[in-house]
């Protein structure tokens, strides 16, 4: 055992010695937050490669709308970009590209991007090969407004799908969008008919999928260049196709069959679910939002009423009794409101005023009430005040008699007490 232990220590010592004697051919810069690094033109004497790595973050609720990007600020596009999950993978790709192996493996390499969105929770590394002065920036957006807007739009589609499926304005807008998009697809199809099929097929068979990806990128770049170059023509083309699509949708009309509306509603809900799912890199949280929204959408109202009824029976609310002042104020307020509603009804065309006046003994009083005067006469007000005063007066002597009687009893008790003492 002693010899085996010495052998392990010697092996470890040799490993450490080799590591320090022959350092790594790359320098790793770990970036944990928003960082900006400026790099000048690399000197010919420098033999190491600068690799910039993002450590990743833990999954928490605050990361649901977070975005992390690698931004490269450079004046030209004369640079190569290498991205991997570890510094070893990045350096391997960099070495293959430097020795010319990448041209054999993938002759149609994807063009480098100046802004690269990286995974939020896994480590990601990147290296740049250029002779130009550049700046590397790790941009951390704690709250990405685009992600919030995408999730909000998905929630709106889920909860408003039933109302939107029968909305004519929404139907026309979707019809115009589909018409313009379909016209572009048809245009691309007829342009592809002009390409030599056999040559293209042989090229794909010989070069594999890389040739297909390359051709697709070239076609996309050509379309993008055409759109940017002929903006006026593309604008009028879009306007004409939009008008034609609107005419066709107007001729067909919005869906009236309930099954057609259901298909549109389910399609909108599927689109909303996809928007919510891809609005965040924290897929567990986005899936939880989807489940919660669907449960809230399709939770039966009868079950909600049962739960609320059971809750009220189990925990009944405490009844609050009104005081005399509150009872009087509420009665006066409700009476005034009822009289105003009655006056409005009598003034409206729905009320047959002449028939009502024929049935009344005092039609002038009814007309006066409708015009805004009081519904009580002066005599009735006087009688009511006299009656209330008499009730108050009748109630007051009773209390005074009881108090006087109590005082007399107290005096008698005092007299008896004095007599006993004598």
For residues 66 and 120, the answer to whether their CB atoms sit within 8 Å is yes
| pLDDT category of residue 172 using cuts at 50, 70 and 90 | confident
pLDDT score for 249: 85
Assign 277 a pLDDT band (cuts: 50, 70, 90).
Answer: very high
- The residue assigned the tokens 């109590």 is 406
As a whole number, mean pLDDT of residues 313-326 equals 79
Q: Boundaries of CATH 2.60.120 in the chain?
A: 2-143
Closest CA to 29 of 49, 51, 46: 51
- Main-chain dihedrals φ then ψ at residue 175, nearest 5 degrees: -65, -40
Residue 413's pLDDT is 45
Q: Which residue has the tokens 């040559």?
A: 199
Q: How confident is the model at residue 117 (pLDDT cuts 50, 70, 90)?
A: confident
Average pLDDT, the chain: 76
Give the span between the Cα atoms of 288 and 267, in whole angstroms: 20
Instruction: Quote the tokens at residue 405.
Output: 């009687």
Match 């009868």 to its residue by tokens: 302
Angle at 291 between CA 288 and CA 294, to 5 degrees: 150
For residue 362, what pLDDT band results from cuts at 50, 70 and 90?
confident
pLDDT (0 to 100) of residue 411 = 44
Average pLDDT over residues 131-144: 85
pLDDT, residue 419, reads 41
Separation between Cα atoms, residue 351 and residue 349, nearest integer Å:
5
pLDDT-based confidence at 201, cuts 50/70/90? low
Say which residues have a Cβ less than 8 Å from residue 249's Cβ, sequence separation at least 6. 171, 172, 175, 176, 179
177-197 tens-digit pLDDT: 888 888 877 776 676 666 555
Residue 208 pLDDT grade (very low, low, confident, very high; cuts 50, 70, 90):
low
Binned at pLDDT 50, 70 and 90, residue 272 comes out as very high
pLDDT in tens, 378-403: 777 787 778 767 766 765 554 444 54
**2-143 sits in which CATH class?**
mainly beta
Distance CA 363, CA 353 (A): 10
Cα 164 to Cα 271: distance, rounded to the nearest angstrom = 13
- Residues 185 and 307: their CA atoms lie apart, in Å, by 52
| Pair of tokens at residue 85 | 């999950």
Q: How far is Cα 265 from Cα 254, in angstroms, rounded to an integer? A: 13
């Amino acid at each position: 055992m002693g010899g085996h232990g010495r052998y392990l220590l010697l092996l470890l010592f040799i490993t450490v010695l080799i590591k320090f004697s022959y350092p790594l051919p790359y320098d790793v810069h770990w970036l944990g937050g928003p960082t900006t690094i400026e790099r000048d033109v690399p000197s010919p004497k420098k033999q190491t490669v600068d690799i910039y790595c993002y450590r990743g973050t833990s999954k928490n609720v605050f990361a649901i709308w977070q975005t992390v990007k690698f931004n490269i600020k450079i004046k030209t596009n004369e640079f190569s970009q290498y991205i991997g999950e570890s510094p070893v993978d990045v350096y391997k790709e960099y070495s293959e590209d430097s020795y010319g192996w990448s041209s054999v493996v993938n002759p149609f390499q994807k063009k480098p991007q100046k802004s690269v969105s990286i995974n939020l929770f896994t480590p990601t590394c990147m290296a740049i090969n250029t002779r130009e002065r550049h700046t590397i920036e790790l941009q951390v957006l704690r709250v990405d407004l685009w992600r919030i807007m995408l999730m909000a739009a998905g929630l709106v589609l889920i909860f408003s799908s039933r109302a939107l499926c029968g909305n004519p304005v929404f139907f026309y807008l979707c019809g115009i969008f589909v018409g313009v998009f379909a016209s572009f697809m048809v245009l691309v199809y007829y342009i592809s008919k002009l390409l030599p099929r056999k040559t293209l097929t042989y090229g794909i068979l010989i070069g594999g999928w890389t040739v297909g990806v390359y051709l697709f990128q070239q076609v996309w770049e050509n379309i993008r260049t055409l759109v940017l170059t002929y903006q006026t023509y593309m604008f009028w083309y879009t306007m004409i196709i939009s008008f034609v699509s609107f005419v066709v949708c107007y001729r067909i009309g919005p869906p009236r069959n309930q099954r057609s509306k259901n298909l549109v509603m389910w399609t909108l809900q599927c689109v909303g679910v996809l928007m919510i799912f891809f609005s965040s890199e924290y897929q567990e949280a986005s899936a939880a939002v989807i489940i919660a929204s669907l449960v809230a959408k399709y939770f039966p109202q009868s079950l909600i009423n049962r739960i609320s009824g059971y809750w009220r029976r189990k925990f009944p609310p405490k009844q609050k009794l009104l005081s005399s002042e509150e009872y009087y104020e509420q009665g006066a307020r409700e009476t005034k409101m009822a009289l105003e509603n009655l006056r409005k009804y009598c003034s409206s065309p729905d009320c047959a005023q002449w028939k009502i006046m024929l049935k009344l003994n005092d039609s002038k009083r009814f007309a006066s009430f409708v015009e805004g005067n009081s519904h009580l006469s002066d005599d009735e007000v006087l009688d009511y005040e006299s009656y209330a005063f008499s009730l108050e007066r009748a109630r007051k002597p009773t209390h005074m008699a009881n108090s006087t009687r109590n005082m007399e009893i107290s005096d008698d008790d005092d007299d008896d007490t004095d007599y006993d003492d004598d």
